Amino acid sequence: MYLAKVTKRVVSVVKHEAYNGKKVYVVKPVLPDGRALETEHVALDYIGAGLGDIVVCGGAPGVAQSIFGLDLAPIRTLIIAIVDKIDYNENEL
Angle at 21 between CA 15 and CA 23, to 5 degrees: 80
Q: Using CA atoms, how far apart are residues 88 and 1, in angstroms rounded to an integer? A: 17
pLDDT of 34 reads 84
Q: What is the pLDDT along the chain (93 residues), one digit of tens a residue?
A: 999 999 999 998 888 888 888 899 999 999 988 899 989 999 999 899 999 999 999 887 777 777 777 777 788 899 999 999 988 776 665
Going from N- to C-terminal start, the domains of the chain cover: 2-83
Q: Where are the beta strands (DSSP E) in 1-93?
A: 2-10, 24-29, 41-45, 54-58, 78-82
State the Cα–Cα distance between residues 79 and 89, nearest whole angstrom. Answer: 25
| Residue 15: predicted pLDDT | 84
Q: Which pLDDT belongs to residue 49?
A: 97
CATH for 2-83, options being 3.30.70.1050, 3.90.550.10, 2.40.50.220, 1.10.3720.10 = 2.40.50.220
